[in-house]
Amino acid sequence: MSTENKLVAVMGAYGHTAKFVLTQLSELGFTPIPVGRDRERLLALGLDQPPRVADVDDPDSLDRAFAGVAAVVNCAGPFIDTAVPVAEAAIRACAHYVDVAAEQAVTLDLLARFDEPARRAGVAVVPAMAFYGGLGDLLATAAAADWTEADDVQVAIALDSWLPTVGSRRTGARNAGNHVVYVDGRFVPPPSVRSTLNWKFPDPIGEQQLTEMSSADQVTIAHHLRTPRITVHISTGALADIKDPATPPPVPVDELGRSAQTFQVDVVVSRGGEQRRASASGRDIYGVSGPLAAGAVARLLGAAVTPVGAVTAGELFDAREFLRSLEPVHLSRPIGR
18 vs 265 by CB, closer to ligand NAP: 18
* Chain positions contacting ligand NAP, by CB under 6 A: 12, 14-18, 36-38, 56, 75-79, 81-82, 100-102, 128, 130-133, 165-168, 171, 216, 285-286, 289
53 vs 308 by CB, closer to ligand NAP: 53
User: Among residues 317, 253, 321, which one has the least CA distance to residue 287?
Assistant: 253
CB neighbourhood size of 211 (10 A): 17
CB of 14 to ligand NAP, least distance (A): 5
96 vs 276 by CB, closer to ligand NAP: 96
Whats the size of the chain, residue-wise?
A: 337
Q: How far is CA 65 from CA 90, 91, 117, 256, in A?
A: 10, 13, 20, 28
Amino acid at 87: A
Contact 15, 38 (CB under 8 A): no
3-state secondary structure of 291: helix
Q: Give 43's contacts (C-beta < 8 A, 6+ positions apart).
A: 51
Calculate Rg over the CA atoms of the chain. 19
CB of 79 to ligand NAP, least distance (A): 6
User: Among residues 315, 255, 258, which one has the least CA distance to residue 288?
Assistant: 258
CB neighbourhood size of 155 (10 A): 26
List residues bridging with 231 in a β-sheet: 154
CB of 19 to ligand NAP, least distance (A): 8
Q: Give CA–CA dist 218/213, Å, rounded.
A: 10
CB of 174 to ligand NAP, least distance (A): 8
Contact 267, 277 (CB under 8 A): yes
CB of 218 to ligand NAP, least distance (A): 13
Torsion of CA 283, 286, 287, 290, to 10 degrees: 140
CB of 11 to ligand NAP, least distance (A): 7
CB of 253 to ligand NAP, least distance (A): 17
CB of 226 to ligand NAP, least distance (A): 24
145 vs 166 by CB, closer to ligand NAP: 166
User: Among residues 37, 8, 34, 26, which one has the least CA distance to residue 96?
Assistant: 8
CA 121 to chain centre: 23
Greatest CA separation for the chain: 58
